[in-house]
Amino acid sequence: MNSLIAPHPTSSFGDAGTLASGALGRTVGAQPASRSRTQASRRRRATAWNLAATLTIWVTSVFVAWLWVIGGGVDALLAFDASSLDALGRLTGLVASNLLLYQVLLMARVPLFERGFGRDALTRMHRLVGFWSVWLMLAHIVLLVFGYAADAGIAPLVQLWEFVWDYPGMLLATAGTVLVIGVAATSIRRARRKLRYESWHLLHLYAYLGVGVALPHQLWTGADFLSSPAATAYWWGLWGAAAAAVIVFRILLPILRSVRHGIRVASVERDGDRGVTVRMRGRRLERLGAQPGQFFVWRFLDGPGWSRGHPFSLSADPARGELVVSARLAGDGTARLAGMKPGTRVLVEGPYGLMTGAARGGRRLLMIGAGAGVAPLVSLLEGESYDPGAAVLLTRDGVSADGIRREAIADLVRTRGLRHVALDGHRAAAGTGAAWLPASHSAWRGPDVFRHLLGDATDVDVYVCGPDVWMRAVRADLRAAGIPSARIHTEAFSL
């Protein structure tokens, strides 16, 4: 492996084997027509899915606002009295209900949204929609309590008590509200960091129960929900679709697929000093439709705790006839991988994710991965076509011995002409160099590294995978180096 980036910037920028005009070498000849047609077809399909998913959300959101308008919401709002508070309470309730149900649909693995937005965007939307729905739900409660109290001439606390005890379905709604607020509180980043992933995941499942018991009161008593056959059909339909999506896409379909393909652990291998690679085989795995760069949610039936799913990316091209994942041994979910026995049954949800070759628009590739984030990049490099010297992989580990998939990377260097740069070592001190580079390269500015590696970046796609904060630093330097956002492909799993 050549040293493509010297620890300190010099005129030679590396050893004698380094390309003087940039490490990501340009090869002679235009992009093959077949590859260009394939990439164009991939982009058209991705655009169509994104358009369909976006229109679905916008059309239904406009419909909800229209229900409020035809229900006299605007006139009541302009009255500037107690009915104005009621009108705002109805509006916030409608929007909160819509968002809560979409909150369920967005994370229920519905193909429309998975293919339309991708896991990274869905994760961000899930977090944003979740917090907005909670705040609007609280505003709905406060506005209606004060509006009804003002109209009846009673204290707000008395009105709140009457709502809970005298109105149909309100006891269930109160219990659901408490559950939803509890889930939102544990999802705040500071609280989230104090919880193990397994504990947080179990608590997060209570959101389904909270939504399930919080919304029915509106179907029984809410005027805007029952004002017309269209409104009634919409709300019952959306509620039913959310429930069906969870049952079908989170429970039934994964079980049916796993049983049909008979997926079992074939081998468990240590990978680096703190990693593990698990190889799985089964029947007709190609029918799963998995692509390099995608991930599954895995459940290994090896004893207590098997029901907690963990998202692991494929670390090898699935076209080779097996499913391979590689992970850094950290929490309980990953540590138990090392002790699994061959023959262990596996349940899978997926495949998911848009960080695949379908996102590619250029001929050259720059892959940047940290820790276990190297895994999906290796699978992409195994599955994608590129000329010798037209792909560079930057890997980042605190200690060189921790690097995963190093044998597979060495094979790609030897057989495919991949250029590998291992940027190992402890991170630089705050305020010195690029945040994503090691201390040994603290004299370098991130954008300058990319300009040297890429040269003319018009035909380069960059794939980045690693911890969220680290990826944000890499992305910022890529943009500063002039790489268009459309050519930078990332995917995050954390909420």
Q: pLDDT band for 420, please (50, 70, 90 cuts).
A: very high
Q: What is the pLDDT of residues 328-372, one digit of tens each?
A: 887 656 778 888 899 999 999 989 888 898 888 888 999 999 988
Q: Do residues 392 and 302 lie in contact, with contact meaning Cβ atoms separated by under 8 Å?
A: no
Cβ neighbors of 226 (< 8 A, separation 6 or more) are 219, 232
304 token code pair:
């207590």
Q: What is the pLDDT of residues 437-487, one digit of tens each?
A: 888 887 888 888 898 888 888 889 999 999 888 899 999 999 999 899 889
72 or 19: whose pLDDT is higher? 72
For range 395-403, the mean pLDDT: 89
Residues in the chain: 495
Assign 3-class secondary structure to the chain. CCCCCCCCCCCCCCCCCCCCCCCCCCCCCCCCHHHHHHHHHHHHHHHHHHHHHHHHHHHHHHHHHHHHHHCCHHHHHCCCCHHHHHHHHHHHHHHHHHHHHHHHHHCCCCHHHHHHHHHHHHHHHHHHHHHHHHHHHHHHHHHHHHHHHHHHCCCHHHHHHHHHHHCCCHHHHHHHHHHHHHHHHHHCHHHHHCCCHHHHHHHHCHHHHHHHHHCHHHHHHCHHHHCCHHHHHHHHHHHHHHHHHHHHHHHHHHHHHHHHHCCEEEEEEECCCCEEEEEEECCCHHHHCCCCCCEEEEEECCCCCCCCCEEEEECCCHHHCCEEEEEECCCHHHHHHHHCCCCCEEEEEEEECCCCHHHCCCCEEEEEEEHHHHHHHHHHHHHCCCCCCCEEEEEECCCHHHCCCHHHHHHHHHHHCCEEEECCCCECCCCCCCCCCEHHHCCCCHHHHHHHHHCCCCCEEEEEECCHHHHHHHHHHHHHCCCCHHHEEECCCCC
Q: What is the pLDDT of residues 143-184, one digit of tens each?
A: 989 998 988 889 999 988 888 887 777 777 787 778 777 777
pLDDT of 315 reads: 95
Residue 197 reports pLDDT greater than 70: no
Q: What is the pLDDT of residues 266-306, one digit of tens each?
A: 999 999 888 999 999 999 999 999 999 999 989 999 888 78
What domains can be seen in the chain, in order of their start residue? Answer: 43-252 (1.20.120), 259-352 (2.40.30.10), 356-490 (3.40.50.80)
pLDDT of 304 reads: 80
First to last CA, the chain: 37
pLDDT of 392 reads: 94
CA-CA distances (angstroms) from residue 458 to 26, 461, 481, 482?
Answer: 11, 9, 12, 10
Q: Do residues 325 and 249 lie in contact, with contact meaning Cβ atoms separated by under 8 Å?
A: no
pLDDT of 2 reads: 43
Q: pLDDT band for 12, please (50, 70, 90 cuts).
A: very low
Residue that has been written with the tokens 């605007």 in this structure: 74
Tell me how far apart the alpha carbons of residues 17 and 483 are, in angstroms, rounded to a whole number: 26
Residue 384 CB coordination number (10 Å):
20
Q: pLDDT band for 17, please (50, 70, 90 cuts).
A: very low
Residue 288 CB coordination number (10 Å):
19
Q: Do residues 397 and 416 lie in contact, with contact meaning Cβ atoms separated by under 8 Å?
A: no
Q: What is the pLDDT of residues 245-269, one digit of tens each?
A: 889 988 898 899 999 999 999 999 9
Q: pLDDT band for 5, please (50, 70, 90 cuts).
A: low
Tell me how far apart the alpha carbons of residues 373 and 490 are, in angstroms, rounded to a whole number: 10
221 or 108: whose pLDDT is higher? 108
317 or 75: whose pLDDT is higher? 317
CA-CA distances (angstroms) from residue 140 to 13, 72, 85, 158?
Answer: 61, 17, 9, 17
pLDDT of 1 reads: 42
Q: pLDDT band for 187, please (50, 70, 90 cuts).
A: low
Task: Please return the burial class of 442, using the count of CB atoms within 10 Å of its CB with bins 0-12, 13-18 and 19+.
Answer: middle
